Amino acid sequence: MDIDLVSSPSKTKDIDGLLADVGYKVRSSELHQVAHNIERLENAIVNSSSDISQFASDTVHYDPSDIGNWVDNLLTEFDHTVSLPYDFSELPDLAAPPLPPSQDQHYLHQLKVVTTVEEDSAIKLVHMLMTCADSLQRGNLPLAGSLIEGMQGLLAEMNTNCGIGKVAGYFIDALNRRIFGINNVISVSLPNENDILYHHYYEACPYLKFAHFTANQAILEAFNGHDCVHVIDFNLMHGLQWPALIQALALRPGGPPFLRLTGIGPPSPDERDNLREIGLRLAELARSVNVRFAFRGVAAWRLEDVKPWMLQVSSKEVVAVNSILQLHRLLGSESEPVSSGIEMVLGWIRSLNPKIMTVVEQEANHNEDGFMERFTEALHYYSTVFDSLEACSVEPDKAMAEMFLQREICNVVCCEGSARVERHEPLVKWRERLGKAGFRPLHLGSNAFKQASMLLTLFSAEGYCVEENQGSLSLGWHSRPLIAASAWQAVPLPEAETLRFDH
């Protein structure tokens, strides 16, 4: 059966770009023919009565990323070779001529010599993932379901500990859940399991550290010269971000200010008050460095459920709002018939008149209406994220971090409506949205850039890079930005519309 893999020029461009980024010199329009040729090659190998092991081991694939020409050439060579009346051991040496010693390492670094089975499986898997996603978008569930079984079989032939094999496994699982409706939300075995995975993700790679360090530097500079300051954290988690800020305030010339911290987080699943316990630990740290400190916990499952009066903002204090990977969760919710969750929350943030709002979001576009576009972008994005994780050697944090990312993938791929909360959008869209909501951008400054760059020295692997873009900072892997940090200031409202709750 012929499948129309792409149905518009924009889809073709997206898929062609994805294939190019992962190293394959083949267009999406050519995938069917490539897959057909691979099947011909397999049949020729299986049905041949000759011993082809020597042929396979002696053949050097100079550029296996050029998969179309590679398979065609291999078929041509095979067709010529199987009719020969003598063994392959009698063929001339097909290996490349020896290189000068100075070029040996460069040659080994640039070229990837892989087995036929591994290369076949990789290109087939990419093709089948795209075809399965396209079938889902068209509503052809029977075809999509049949492809799942085929992809699972291909995974058995691949290394699933790294590379496309690992990432594909997570996407196949998510597609399987979407097709068959199997627990769209991955089951949670422990009440606070998401907090635990978040902590391991923080330890395993630099992305959350970058978010915290960059936001803290911007908040510290905004608080300069003020004696009473208030941070509102949209996702307290373990409070990992705030010890560094407390210590920085303790060293501030002229003495530290009085610091209030309001931490928003989900209600405790048991009788423990997790928010209060985190607050007590932070209070003990503040006391040890002579910072006057007050903490308030606000328990809420969703930011839409938070009301500004709960935050008890005073007119005597300077306010900072901190959102780390949270605002995108508001994009799919409807709080009232005429206003979305993001509009409502940005509205009351502006009414608090914060001196600064720090925003860190994934630099991705996973909020398209079309499933195929979203799937293509997600496969591209998370392939790069997992590639960067391979450079981090921290165990068991890395394995737990992968579980954290697996949950994101599952939500992006198999959930819809209000259940789909991982609606990541790139910085260019946040600039437009925040500007319309009454916020103006602030330049993060050279200190934030220096701190982010210094942070990367803690990770010995090369490949991470910090870039400045119109006053915002992004952290990425090689040339692909993966997370973006920006700072904003609310355009002042008329005094009558400003919300403060003085006692």
Instruction: Answer whether residue 293 is part of any domain.
Output: yes
The whole-angstrom separation of Cα 64 and Cα 72 is 12
Instruction: Answer whether residue 268 is part of any domain.
Output: yes
Instruction: Answer whether residue 503 is part of any domain.
Output: no
Are 237 and 115 within one domain? no
Which two three-digit tokens encode residue 362? 């994934």
Domain of residue 348 covers 193-497
Are 251 and 394 within one domain? yes
Average pLDDT, rounded, for the chain: 78
Question: Quick one: pLDDT at residue 107?
Answer: 35
Are 200 and 126 within one domain? no
Each residue's pLDDT tens digit, 155-171:
887 776 777 788 999 99
Each residue's pLDDT tens digit, 460-498:
668 899 999 899 999 999 989 999 999 999 998 766 455
Each residue's pLDDT tens digit, 422-473:
999 999 999 999 999 999 999 998 888 888 888 777 766 688 999 998 999 9
Entry pTM:
0.74
Are 428 and 330 within one domain? yes
Number of domains, the chain: 2
Instruction: Answer whether residue 186 is part of any domain.
Output: no
Are 360 and 411 within one domain? yes
Instruction: Answer whether residue 326 is part of any domain.
Output: yes
Are 54 and 167 within one domain? yes
DSSP E strand stretches across 288-379: 293-299, 318-324, 334-336, 339-340, 356-362
Asked if residue 396 has a cis previous peptide bond (ω within 30° of 0), the answer is yes
Q: Among 114-118, 315-319, 415-419, which stretch is predicted with the lowest mean pLDDT? A: 114-118
Which two three-digit tokens encode residue 458? 């803690």
Asked if 237 and 198 count as a contact pair (C-beta separation under 8 A), the reply is: yes
Each residue's pLDDT tens digit, 162-218:
777 889 999 999 999 999 887 555 543 344 677 788 888 888 889 999 999 999 999
Q: Phi and psi of 189, rounded to 5°?
A: -90, -20
Q: Among 34-48, 273-287, 330-344, 467-481, which stretch is predicted with the lowest mean pLDDT? A: 34-48
